[in-house]
Amino acid sequence: MKPVAILRFSPEDGPGYFASFLDRHSIPWRLIKIDAGDMPPEGLDDFSGFAFMGGPMSVNDDLPWLPSVLALIRDAMAHDKPCLGHCLGGQLMSKALGGAVTQNPVKEIGWNPVIAEDNALAREWLGDELVAASQVTVFQWHGETFTLPQGATRILTGDACSNQAYVIGNSLGMQCHTEMTAEMIEEWCGDWTAENVAASASVQRPEEIRQAVDRNVTALRLLSDRLFARWVSGLPR
């Protein structure tokens, strides 16, 4: 099987649990460090799918690698190569497919709930149990949001940010973070003051985030495993 290309845009926004999931299922992967000067793949033939991680930048910034990444997403999805977007990655997918990325009414930082939509694709990707439970706690760290691109079906929503996850074919774009590990969360908490935002209903302080890690990571793993398993099932063998 050809490897999954994982595009990293910031050193702190690595693949985390997603890489561990791929390793556990003997799926090869290759990390492409855009933040370190690596170039996005020029073609599709060397990879079975493409994962796009998070980052502090905006897809509306003047970034030298942005046109190539957007073109890669469009080309991959046109040729049925599954794409997976985490936060910035989900925004990149939306923009590549004609959606818009704008400021969300509020920032989301920390553990916030999302709600499963009750539709056929949500049941396919999340499973009947998660859809029936309706609400699940995920990790958030964003100030922007995306619109649903044409042909997308939303499978997760939220009160503070409506569009949390969408599906197009075998591709999945997310605003929330399902790849987080306890170590990544601790590292990100060190950047909390740089966000220059007060604690609120959608923004938790580092001490609140840390106190809930043990309780919430277990639930997050159930969601991650379900979504990642469905995503890899669409990879060409």
Confidence label for 237 from pLDDT (cuts 50, 70 and 90): confident
Q: Is 67 left (phi over 0), alpha (psi -120 to 50) or beta?
A: alpha
Confidence label for 127 from pLDDT (cuts 50, 70 and 90): very high
Question: Is residue 82's pLDDT more than 90?
Answer: yes
Q: Which architecture does CATH list for 4-233?
A: 3-Layer(aba) Sandwich (3.40)
Q: What single letter denotes the amino acid at residue 223?
A: L
Confidence label for 199 from pLDDT (cuts 50, 70 and 90): confident
Question: Is residue 233's pLDDT more than 80?
Answer: yes
Question: Distance (Å, rounded) from C-alpha 82 to C-alpha 62?
Answer: 26
